[in-house]
Amino acid sequence: METKQVIVMRTDLNMRKGKMAAQAAHASMGALLQYGRSQEDGTIILNLPEAAIEWLNESFTKICVGIDSEHALLALTARVKYADIPYKLIRDNGATEFGGIKTFTCLAVGPAEADVVDQFTKELKLL
């Protein structure tokens, strides 16, 4: 099974490259950690979907694409939400950019089967 994760990054924000990398990392990890639960000893147990396990054990394919507005990002998130695949929408606190305003910056779609992820992201341009 071919699996992947796509990070959808807002291009209208003109984030610094380091900020973009940090936001993408938050989204990627967040999509997996939502399946976790903490134990008393601090251990985190992940109960991941099969495609996510395959992704971690095999390809780890990650692709970054752009989207041009908050409205488009939130509309995409609403569609992905009902697909029963991992996803994570990131809202930055605005401490280092965005003038202290909390801002939606990116969305991780997957990891999941590539053809499922492509249903949502294939029309978006690579960064």
Question: Residue 126 gets which letter from DSSP?
Answer: B
String of b and e for 74-108 (b: at least 16 CB within 10 Å)? eebbeebeeeebbbbbbebeeeebeeeeebbbbbb
State the pLDDT at residue 99: 85
3-state secondary structure (DSSP) of residue 105 = strand
State the pLDDT at residue 96: 86
10 to 37, 47, 89, 103: CA distances (angstroms): 30, 30, 11, 10
Banded pLDDT at 106 (limits 50, 70, 90): very high
Q: List pLDDT tens digits, range 9-28.
A: 999 999 999 999 999 999 99
As a whole number, the mean pLDDT across the chain is: 95
62 to 65, 79, 80, 93, 98: CA distances (angstroms): 10, 20, 17, 24, 26
**CATH superfamily of domain region 3-121:** Bit1 (3.40.1490.10)
3-state secondary structure (DSSP) of residue 92 = strand
pTM over 0.85: yes
Q: How far apart are CA 121 and CA 85, in angstroms?
A: 13
